[in-house]
């Protein structure tokens, strides 16, 4: 049975600043998805939050980029934003950039990650959603999961994974994408994806056509505005696990570094990506640090069995502590690079205005 897993997300407003989605707006989304389930449009759903982003996980049989599913999500975000406005929540309706729906939610503000595949006899997968960062934040963990044998033992010792994987990498600036393969293109892949603001892993495919797509990251909004730098979108990522794909533990292992990402405070700072359970899916200190939640499911004829709150585990306590040590350290740099991003990547800046004002105060340096 071919199933589509769609994760569609938007910041429709949050409580106490850009901190956390309000429960009442989550309830609005659940109610509308329950109706869609009763009507048979969707098979199943799960609604959750990543900090101030409302996340809709939807399973169905309509394929990716389906207008009905996208319109449903758009209507849900509009309805939740209406609730957010009623409650006078912060930045209500922030990510809803267009007035009316025109066939595809991409380019309208929300982020989308979708995959369609033949459901295996047992189909475990994980959904990751991050706040105060950008799609390139997933480059490092996704690379480690599918291409680094120091993370994923299966690449060496599982005959079904030994052939490697195919990566679709997007160039955000040019609006182009390229397919590269591991292990043969390993160094070329790394030459690109280390530059997380420009080259983004968008999909990973198994080389075994019976498995097909293995992972997807939400890059779509970026792609539509290619040609100029368009800033950061809090990203989502879907990764299938086991039996020819990385084990769930290999997937989670890649989040054990608290690696530095872009997008913290005003979209303008580097900070460590901290894996947290849903109860800590709220951004507090200096609007962060950037956080990622991970939910594990199994599919049963498209029905969602789960979730398991994957980072709700002492196994991630030390990573969280490490993230806070890095936070203390990097915060001490205040407005200095590399804590603050370079001028071309700042989402907020006064630099042009300051330079204009100081124009006549420069003199030749001796």
- The site partner of 266 among ligand F6R, Mg ion, none (C-beta below 5 to 8 Å per kind) is ligand F6R
- Is the CB of 101 or the CB of 280 nearer to ligand F6R? 280
Active site residue 11: yes
Which residues of the chain form contacts with ligand F6R (CB under 6 A)?
17-18, 52, 91, 132, 265-267, 287
Shortest distance in whole angstroms from residue 25 CB to Mg ion? 12
Helix (H, G, I), strand (E, B) or coil at 197: coil
- Is the CB of 17 or the CB of 227 nearer to ligand F6R? 17
DSSP per-residue letters across 239-253: EE-SSSS--HHHHHH
- Is the CB of 315 or the CB of 346 nearer to Mg ion? 346
- Is the CB of 8 or the CB of 193 nearer to ligand F6R? 8
Helix (H, G, I), strand (E, B) or coil at 17: coil
234 DSSP 8-state letter: -
Q: Identify the active-site residue in 148, 232, 234, 287.
A: 232
Q: Given the rule CB under 5 A, which of 56-64, 86-94, 149-157, 238-246 is the region that contacts Mg ion?
A: 86-94
Helix (H, G, I), strand (E, B) or coil at 227: coil
Q: Which two tokens stand for residue 289?
A: 């640090």
- Is the CB of 44 or the CB of 53 nearer to Mg ion? 53
- The site partner of 53 among Mg ion, ligand F6R, none (C-beta below 5 to 8 Å per kind) is Mg ion
Q: Which two tokens stand for residue 108?
A: 């309208």
Q: Identify the active-site residue in 9, 11, 148, 234.
A: 11
Q: Are strands 53-60 and 123-131 parallel, antiparallel or unpaired?
A: unpaired
Q: CB neighbours (10 Å) of residue 38?
A: 9
- The site partner of 265 among ligand F6R, Mg ion, none (C-beta below 5 to 8 Å per kind) is ligand F6R
Distance CA 266, CA 246 (A): 35
Residue 270, H or E segment:
strand 269-272
Shortest distance in whole angstroms from residue 234 CB to ligand F6R? 7
Q: Is 352 exposed, middle or buried (0-12, 13-18, 19+ CB in 10 A)?
A: exposed
- Give yes or no for a contact between 135 and 154, defined as CB atoms under 8 angstroms apart: no
Shortest distance in whole angstroms from residue 133 CB to ligand F6R? 9
Active site residue 229: yes
Measured from each CB, the residue nearest to Mg ion is: 18
Which residues have a catalytic role annotated? 11, 229, 232
- Using CB under 5 A, list all residues that contact Mg ion: 11, 18, 52-53, 91, 131, 234
């Amino acid at each position: 049975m071919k199933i589509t897993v769609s994760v569609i997300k938007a910041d429709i407003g949050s409580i106490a600043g850009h901190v956390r989605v309000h429960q009442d707006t989550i309830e609005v989304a659940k109610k509308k998805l329950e109706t869609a389930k009763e009507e048979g449009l969707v098979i199943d759903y799960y609604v959750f939050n990543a900090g101030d982003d409302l996340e809709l996980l939807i399973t169905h049989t309509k394929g990716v980029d389906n207008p009905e599913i996208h319109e449903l999500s758009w209507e849900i975000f509009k309805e939740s934003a209406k609730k957010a406005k009623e409650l006078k929540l912060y930045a209500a309706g922030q990510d809803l950039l267009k007035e009316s729906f025109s066939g595809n939610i991409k380019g309208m503000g929300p982020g989308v990650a979708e995959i369609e595949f033949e459901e295996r006899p047992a189909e475990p997968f994980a959904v990751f959603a991050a706040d105060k960062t950008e799609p390139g934040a997933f480059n490092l963990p996704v690379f480690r999961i599918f291409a680094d044998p120091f993370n994923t033992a299966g690449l060496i010792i599982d005959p079904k994974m030994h052939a490697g994987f195919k990566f679709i990498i997007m160039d955000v600036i040019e609006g182009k994408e390229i397919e590269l393969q591991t292990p043969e293109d390993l160094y070329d892949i790394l030459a690109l994806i280390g530059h997380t603001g420009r080259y983004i892993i968008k999909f990973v495919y198994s080389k075994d056509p019976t498995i097909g797509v293995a992972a997807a990251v939400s890059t779509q909004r970026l792609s539509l505005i290619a040609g100029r730098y368009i800033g950061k979108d809090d990203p989502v990522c879907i990764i299938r696990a086991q039996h020819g794909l990385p084990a769930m533990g290999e997937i989670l292992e890649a989040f054990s570094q608290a690696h530095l990402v872009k997008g913290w405070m005003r979209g303008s700072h580097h900070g460590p990506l901290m894996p947290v359970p849903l109860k800590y899916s709220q951004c507090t200190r200096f609007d962060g640090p950037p956080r990622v939640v991970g939910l594990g499911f199994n599919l049963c004829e498209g029905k969602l069995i789960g979730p398991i709150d994957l980072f709700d585990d002492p196994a991630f306590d030390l990573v969280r502590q490490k993230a806070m040590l890095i936070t203390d350290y990097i915060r001490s740099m205040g407005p200095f690079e590399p804590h603050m991003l370079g001028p071309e990547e700042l989402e907020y800046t006064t630099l042009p205005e300051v330079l204009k004002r100081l124009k006549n105060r420069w003199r030749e340096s001796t």
